[in-house]
Amino acid sequence: MLVLKNKDIQIRDPFIYVNENDRKYYMFGSTDKNIWGEGTGFDAYVSEDLENWEGPYPVFRPAEDFYSDRNFWAPEVHEYKGKYYMFATFFRKDNEKRGTAILISDNLLGPYRPHSDGTVTPKEWFSLDGTLHVDDQGTPWLIFCHEWVQVQDGEICLLKLKDDLSGPAEEPKTLFKASEAPWPTAFQDKKRPYENNYVTDGPFIYKTTSGELYMLWASFIDNVYAQGLSKSVSGAINGPWVHEEQPLYREDGGHGMIFKTFDQKPVLTLHAPNKTPLERPIFIELEEKNGKLTVQK
């Protein structure tokens, strides 16, 4: 198995699973060489230090009758009730809409197989980047994006899941729209030349040591990919959410997540630059102070 450095790995939407059992980090992400085209599957990489990675390990390859054949995006893996669940975005062949589906495996490195009946996000929506949050009562929630390509002002939405993660338990609700935050600017797109395109992308939920509930999500500033934070006023997943005035990261990188290292340091990982095939995983140490998250100076 090859040992690779971060600079050697083309990946978008990196997601780190911190495995306490073997004291290793498992990195999942969008690993097709051209994620905009035909979908091959998802690979993973394993490291002890976030610098040297073994891989790639093929963790998902679709069967011939799989409901998608392109846009395999943003897989993230969570352990839930003794199984491993992969949440990933797929482009549906039956109606040409994107959505988040849930896969399952007995093993962290797969193979993952379909668990939900197709996508769990609304079938007629363009949706993507679903992430799992299990609240203090043990209720599983999906936080995802209703895409700007359909609604123009991208939305972050909340969907209660069935206890077995096989599908939705309720109708989704909108938590907020991209334009409600102070830091994103309208996205200029030649295919959709509207004046008020605002993008939501890649939400991730993180609870600080002192109990504050944050949402990390991506958008654009002057057409440059950026990453910002929002905080739940109530401390619960349904908010209301207040937005940081300034982005956490604005150097053409995004769709990140936050994890704690084995020595309990919070780290932001994201891909940068936001251009295929140059995307690489980036790791940035954060600081928790007085209930706030900032990049460590």
Return the pLDDT at 40: 97
pLDDT of 271 higher than 90: yes
What single string gives the DSSP state of each residue in 168-226?
Answer: BSS--EEEEEGGGSSS--PPP-SSS--S--B--EEEEEEE-TT--EEEEEEEEETTEEE
pLDDT of 193 higher than 90: no
In tens, the pLDDT along 37-92 reads: 999 999 999 999 999 999 999 999 999 999 999 999 999 999 999 999 999 999 99
**Structural domains of the chain sorted by starting position, each given as residue range(s) with its CATH number in brackets:** 63-295 (2.115.10.20)
User: Are the C-beta atoms of 243 and 181 separated by less than 8 Å?
Assistant: yes
Cis link prior to 56 (omega < 30° from 0)?
yes
Nearest 5°: CA angle at 218, between 56 and 228? 120
- Averaged pLDDT score across all residues of the chain: 96
